[in-house]
């Protein structure tokens, strides 16, 4: 199997800008990262380095004045019958198609659980809504698939491939023929049952009662669980958690993260955790991407990163890793300040703060390269 086959998500050279009155914020300057199937991958870096913009770009949720300018966001799924890998570039999908991907195949849990889930609806109804929405959409997706395949048949394809395609069409057509629920009420009931099951899955005590409650009736940790239940309701291939845990106290945070890792095994979701906290990365992630000022500076297995950081920025971050049960909102201070991304430093964006910088660092942007097997670094003067 090729390396790329096991990458369920691969971001290549992602550039996202914000066109503000003060000037153009060059927020993402060629971000590269990948998420392997079954991994829990951490994206870590100081505030403003582009973690959330990366997550939003992946789901095409960047709003004006922001714009994705360049890059590829490859999403790879295994076709259930053929076992073949299908790759789509999320940046090339139509608005309609991306809607189906969002929530259905790639789900996101956002930063602030105080304002989300929606305070005015019962927990159970909100999860049920997600289930219903994506059930509805899925028949559209199937129809689209069939059309695509029929389209292929009009082209010149070898006989063997032809029969494979015809089989696929039959398979998808069968899926469409499943009788719809007799009326909406039944569908709603089934979705509510599923919502309760989801709450049970995230180890919520008394799930049926919780389903009838409003978000404000729950504690922060329970709200977080409800959000995760909602995100997982459609069995997404990928779950992105953007700082989902930092608003919680540390014990609850540890519980939620452990829960995520357990659930990952049960339902086979690959997870991307966005955090400031190297302690969280150490405890829950098997792979890590370090970001600095809109670029990926280092990417490797977590153990490798802690044992042998190769980028001077990473080494700086690791000098004062908080212990797991210590609250730290911010990463340790590295000398100097985070650059203004309207006028970012030339060359390597880290060079003004880097004690190893040489003249090339000021003029050229280092590429992310595999310096050791499975260990990528963007630096002209890596440590070792
Ligand atoms: N709507 C916007 N308008 C202008 N600039 C923006 C906007 N959203 C993000 N940015 C800029 O993009 C850059 C990356 O922001 P982002 O929110 O991704 O950082 P982050 O790594 O998630 O930070 P934090 O850890 O604080 O959440 C920052 O310089 C930020 O100011
Ligand atoms: Mg953020």
Residue of the CA atom closest to atom 29 of ligand 1: 48
pLDDT cut 70: percent of the chain above it: 86
pTM reported for the whole predicted model: 0.83
**What are 220-259's pLDDT values in tens digits?**
888 888 888 888 887 889 999 887 555 666 777 777 788 8
54 C-alpha vs ligand 1 centroid, how far in Å? 9
Cis peptide before 322 (omega within 30 of 0): no
Greatest Cα pair distance, the chain, in angstroms, is 71
**What are 295-332's pLDDT values in tens digits?**
999 999 999 999 999 999 999 988 865 544 454 444 45
Query: For the chain, what are the domain ranges?
Result: 120-233, 289-377
Quick one: pLDDT at residue 324?
47
Strands 23-36 and 7-20: antiparallel
243 C-alpha vs ligand 2 centroid, how far in Å? 7
- Contact, 213 vs 123, CB < 8 A? yes
Rg, C-alpha atoms of the chain: 22
For ligand 1, mutation pick of 21, 23, 26, 27 (most atoms within 8 Å of CB): 27
Q: Which atom of ligand 1 is nearest to the CA of 56?
A: 18
Closest CA relative to residue 175, chosen from 138, 148, 149, 147: 138
Would the CB of 50 count as within 6 Å of ligand 1?
yes
For ligand 1, mutation pick of 15, 16, 49, 290 (most atoms within 8 Å of CB): 49
**What are 182-222's pLDDT values in tens digits?**
567 777 888 888 889 889 988 888 999 999 999 889 888 88
Would the CB of 52 count as within 6 Å of ligand 1?
yes
Residue of the CA atom closest to atom 11 of ligand 1: 27
Would the CB of 25 count as within 6 Å of ligand 1?
yes
Work out the average pLDDT over 137-147. Answer: 71
Q: Which atom of ligand 1 is nearest to the CA of 294?
A: 14
Work out the average pLDDT over 70-93. Answer: 90
Least confident among 11-15, 27-31, 235-239, 370-374: 235-239
pLDDT at 96 over 90: no
Residue of the CA atom closest to atom 25 of ligand 1: 47
SS3 44: strand
Top pLDDT among 51 and 143 is at 51
Quick one: pLDDT at residue 321?
59
Tell me the torsion sign for CA atoms 339, 342, 346, 349. positive
Q: Work out the pLDDT band at 141, boundaries 50, 70, 90.
A: low
Quick one: pLDDT at residue 261?
85
pLDDT cut 90: percent of the chain above it: 43
For ligand 1, mutation pick of 43, 50, 329 (most atoms within 8 Å of CB): 50
Distances (CA, A) of 342 to 54, 78, 212: 17, 41, 47
- Contact, 9 vs 75, CB < 8 A? yes
Quick one: pLDDT at residue 128?
84
CA angle 104, 102, 106 (to 5 degrees): 65
**What are 286-296's pLDDT values in tens digits?**
999 999 999 99
What do you get for the CA distance between the two ends of the chain, in Å? 31
Least confident among 76-85, 98-107, 170-179: 170-179
Least confident among 63-72, 77-86, 112-121, 344-353: 112-121
For ligand 1, mutation pick of 25, 274, 329, 341 (most atoms within 8 Å of CB): 25
Q: How far apart are CA 167 and CA 82, in angstroms?
A: 10
Would the CB of 101 count as within 6 Å of ligand 1?
no
Residue of the CA atom closest to atom 26 of ligand 1: 47
pLDDT at 272 over 60: yes
344 C-alpha vs ligand 1 centroid, how far in Å? 14
**Two structure tokens written together for 51:** 């973690």
51 C-alpha vs ligand 2 centroid, how far in Å? 5
Residue of the CA atom closest to atom 30 of ligand 1: 48
Q: How far apart are CA 206 and CA 297, in angstroms?
A: 45
Name 115's Cβ contacts closer than 8 Å, sequence gap at least 6.
Answer: none
Average pLDDT over the chain, rounded to whole?
A: 85
Would the CB of 163 count as within 6 Å of ligand 1?
no
Least confident among 39-48, 101-110, 297-306, 318-327: 318-327
Work out the average pLDDT over 120-141. Answer: 75
Q: How far apart are CA 103 and CA 322, in angstroms?
A: 33
- Contact, 352 vs 339, CB < 8 A? yes
Top pLDDT among 248 and 59 is at 59
Residue of the CA atom closest to atom 6 of ligand 1: 18
Quick one: pLDDT at residue 158?
84
Work out the average pLDDT over 346-368. Answer: 96
Would the CB of 18 count as within 6 Å of ligand 1?
yes
For ligand 1, mutation pick of 11, 23, 26, 53 (most atoms within 8 Å of CB): 53
Work out the average pLDDT over 5-11. Answer: 93
């Amino acid at each position: 199997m090729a390396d790329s086959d096991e990458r369920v998500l691969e971001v290549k050279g992602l550039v996202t800008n914000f066109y503000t009155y003060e000037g153009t914020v060059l927020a993402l300057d060629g971000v590269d990262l990948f998420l392997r199937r079954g991994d829990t991958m951490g994206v870590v870096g100081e505030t403003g380095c582009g973690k959330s913009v990366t997550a939003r770009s992946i789901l095409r949720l960047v709003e004006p004045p922001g714009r994705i300018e360049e890059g590829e966001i490859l999403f790879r799924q295994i076709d259930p019958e053929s076992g073949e890998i299908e790759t789509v570039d999320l940046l090339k999908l139509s608005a309609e198609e991306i809607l189906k991907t969002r929530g259905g195949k790639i789900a996101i849990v956002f930063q602030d659980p105080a304002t989300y889930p929606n305070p005015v609806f019962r927990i159970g109804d909100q999860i049920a809504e997600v289930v219903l929405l994506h059930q509805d959409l899925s028949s559209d997706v199937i129809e689209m698939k069939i059309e695509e395949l029929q389209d292929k048949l009009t082209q010149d394809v070898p006989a063997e491939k032809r029969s494979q395609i015809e089989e696929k069409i039959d398979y998808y057509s069968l899926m469409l023929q499943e009788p719809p629920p007799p009326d909406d009420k039944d569908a709603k009931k089934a979705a509510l049952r599923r919502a309760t099951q989801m709450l049970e899955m995230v180890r919520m005590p008394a799930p049926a009662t919780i389903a009838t409650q409003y978000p404000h009736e729950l504690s922060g940790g329970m709200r977080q669980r409800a959000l995760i239940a909602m995100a997982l309701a459609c069995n997404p291939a990928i779950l992105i958690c953007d700082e989902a845990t930092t608003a919680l106290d540390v014990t609850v945070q540890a519980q939620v993260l452990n829960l995520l890792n357990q659930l990952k095994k049960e339902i086979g979701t690959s997870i991307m955790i966005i955090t400031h906290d190297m302690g969280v990365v150490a405890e829950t992630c098997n792979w890590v991407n370090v970001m600095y000022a809109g670029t990926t500076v280092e990417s490797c297995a977590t153990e490798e990163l802690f044992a042998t950081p190769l980028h001077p920025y990473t080494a700086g971050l690791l000098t004062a890793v908080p212990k797991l049960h210590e609250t730290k909102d911010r990463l340790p201070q590295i000398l100097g300040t985070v650059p203004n991304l309207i006028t970012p430093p030339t060359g390597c964006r880290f060079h003004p703060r880097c004690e190893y910088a040489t003249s090339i660092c000021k003029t050229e942007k280092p590429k992310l390269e595999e310096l050791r097997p499975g260990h990528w670094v963007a630096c002209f003067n890596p440590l070792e």
